A and B are shown apart, each in its own frame.
Chain A
Amino acid sequence: MEQDWIWGLVGGGLIGLGAAFYLLVNGRIMGASGILGAVVDGSARETRSERLWFLAGVIGVPAVLMLVTGGAPDTNLTGNWVVVIAAGLLVGLGTRLANGCTSGHGVCGISRLSIRGIVATLIYIGAGVLTVALFRHALGVI
C-alpha cells in the first residue's frame, strides 16, 4: 500500500509520455473516449486506421505485460450486472456528450490550462464523489 503512490507516479508518467508522443508526432489529443467513440459511431473516416492501432496498443501492451510477468492486477469490478451495464452506458454516453474523459479533459485538457478540461474534470469528479457517497454509504449497493 505504501508504494501505491510511487507506482501511481510512474504509471502516470508513462500515460503522460504516451500523450506527449501522440501530440508531438501525430498532432493528436490522446483521449480514450474520443479515439474509441469516433470508431464506434463511424464519424472517423481517414483517421480510422490510426485510431485502431492506438486501441491495439492500449489493449495489447497490458496483455503482453500480463503474459511476461505471469500476472495482472485485480480489477475488483463489482459482480452486480445491473450496476456494470448502467455504469458502462453512462460512461459511454456521458464522455461522448462532453467530448472527453479522464485522459482527454483530465490529462490533456488540464495540462494546456483549458477551461473546458478543468470544468469537466471538476464536474465528473464531483458527480463521482456524490455517486459513491449515495450508492455506497446511503444505499449500500456498491
Chain B
Amino acid sequence: MNLRNLAAVIAGGLFGAGLMLSGMTDTAKVQGFLDVLGAWDPTLIFVMGGAIVPMFIAWRIAAMRRMPALGGAFPPPSTDDLGRRLVVGSVMFGMGWGLAGLCPGPALASLSYGGIGGLVFLAAMATGMFAAPPVARRLEPAM
C-alpha cells in the first residue's frame, strides 16, 4: 500500500467514525432536521458546523502551500457555474434525502450495521450514479 492509499484510508476512517458517532447514520435524526413541521432536531447543524470549522482552516493552509504533502496539485478554485445540472441534481438529491434520511456518506458508513434495507439503498444509489453520465449530457450537452 502506497502513502496515498494509506492517507485515503485514514481520511475515510475519520469520516466514517465521525458519521457514526455524530448520529448522522440515524435516518430519524436526519429526517428530524428536515421536518420543520414536526419535532425539529437541530443535531445536523452541529455536525455541519463541527466539520466546516477544521475544513475552513484547511483551505487557508492549502492557500499558503504550493502543493499537497504527497505532491500533485490542490483542487482548482470553485467556479460560479450554477447550471441546470447543479439545480436539477440538488433537487433530486434533496427529495431522496428527505424520503429515506440517508445521503451517500452515511449510507456507506452504516453498511455494516444498516441491515438489508441499508444494502438495498446503497445498491439503488449506485445504480443511480451509474445512470448519471448520459442524463448529465442531456441536461448540459456542451459539457
A residues sitting closer than 8 Å to B (CB atoms) are: 4-5, 7-30, 32-33, 36-37, 40-41, 43, 49-51, 53-63, 65-66, 72-79, 81, 83-99, 101-103, 105-112, 114-117, 119-120, 123-133, 135-137, 142
Contacts and interface: CB of A to CB of B under 8 A. Distances in A.
Nearest to A18: B14
B128 A94 contact: yes
B7 A91 contact: no
27 contacts: A7-B22, A9-B49, A10-B21, A11-B47, A11-B50, A12-B46, A13-B50, A18-B11, A20-B54, A20-B57, A30-B11, A32-B103, A43-B133, A57-B13, A65-B20, A72-B110, A76-B101, A84-B121, A89-B127, A90-B92, A93-B128, A96-B128, A96-B136, A101-B93, A127-B91, A132-B31, A132-B98
Cβ-closest 8 pairs across A and B = A11-B22, A92-B128, A12-B50, A57-B12, A127-B94, A88-B124, A97-B89, A98-B89
Contacts of A56: 9, 12
Contacts, number: 485
Nearest to A6: B46
Contacts of A33: 104, 129
A72 B20 CA distance: 8
Interface of B: 1, 4-29, 31, 34-38, 41-59, 61-62, 65, 67-75, 78-82, 85-105, 107-115, 117-118, 120-133, 135-136, 139
B38 to A, nearest CB: 7
* Residue among A12, A98, A123, A125 with the highest chain B CB neighbour number at 10 A: A12
Nearest to A38: B129
A16 to B, nearest CB: 4
A90 B109 CA distance: 19
B94 A124 contact: yes
B129 A63 contact: no
A131 B96 CA distance: 8
Contacts of A126: 94
Contact of B50 (A16, A90, A115, A127): A16
A66 B112 CA distance: 8
A132 B29 CA distance: 13
Given A59-B111, A94-B91, A97-B139, A116 B80 contact: yes
Given A98-B90, A129-B36, A11 B19 contact: yes
A133 B36 contact: yes
